[in-house]
Amino acid sequence: MEIWDGYNRDGKLANVDVIRGDLLPAGLYHLVCEVLVRHTDGDYLLMQRDFSKQIYGGYYEASAGGSALKGEDPLTCVKRELFEETGILSEDFEEIGSVVCDEDHCIFYTFLCVTDWDKMSITLQKGETISYRWVNEKDFISFVNSEEMIKTQKQRYLNYLNQKGYLWT
């Protein structure tokens, strides 16, 4: 059983435990953290979601991430999720966005991690990820502007993508 902290919409702890899979009452949210990984050589990491995932199974996504466990702040969560889903250990995280998703009762925190991790040493998490690929900046821009990128993730990355000039108009 996975336990999460419950939060108010403003991001403050509600002092309520939430059990993964239970319906969250109106006005209660949980934290979800994701990280966009860029190698020091400029390549971006795309992770393929396991086909068993209910949402976007088999899709490549420009992130590793998931729900914060009870007691975790966003940075602690994103470090854990990055390690679990990719094997990458890092202390180099920059928050690049946050958004409240009322429909899913989530508060998303999005980070950028720049790493010099050995690109051939990515590990996969059973039930979460089944493959990965590193893409150069040009191919990443094409991915971002294609139907391949998960639309909700693109929206959460919008400020970063605009700042980098990655979006085609």
Specify if 43 maps to a domain: yes
Specify if 78 maps to a domain: yes
Q: Which two tokens stand for residue 81?
A: 């999720």
Q: Is the C-alpha dihedral spanning 161, 106, 51, 65 positive or negative? A: positive
Residue with tokens 């949402």: 55
Q: Which two tokens stand for residue 19?
A: 């059990």
Q: Which domain holds residue 134?
A: 3-164
State how far the Cα of 63 lies from the Cα of 58, in Å rounded to an integer.
14
Specify if 134 maps to a domain: yes
Task: Give every CB contact of residue 147 below 8 A, 6+ residues apart in sequence.
Answer: none
Specify if 82 maps to a domain: yes
The pairing of strands 30-39 and 106-115 is: parallel
Alpha helices, H only, the chain:
74-86, 137-144, 151-156, 158-164
Count Cα atoms within 13 angstroms, Cβ side, for 64: 31
Count Cα atoms within 13 angstroms, Cβ side, for 18: 26
- pLDDT tens string, the chain, 169 residues long: the values are 899 999 999 999 999 999 898 888 889 999 999 999 999 999 999 999 999 998 999 999 999 999 999 999 999 999 999 999 999 999 999 999 999 999 989 999 999 999 999 999 999 999 999 999 999 999 999 999 999 999 999 999 999 999 999 999 7
Question: Contact at 8 Å (CB) between 6 and 23?
Answer: no
Q: Which two tokens stand for residue 22?
A: 């239970």
Per-residue pLDDT at 25? 83
Per-residue pLDDT at 26? 86
Specify if 169 maps to a domain: no
User: How many angstroms separate the Cα of 56 from the Cα of each of 64, 91, 134?
Assistant: 14, 29, 20
Q: Which two tokens stand for residue 112?
A: 């950028």
State how far the Cα of 38 lies from the Cα of 53, in Å rounded to an integer.
24
pTM of the model: 0.94
CATH at residue 128: 3.90.79.10
Domain count, the chain: 1
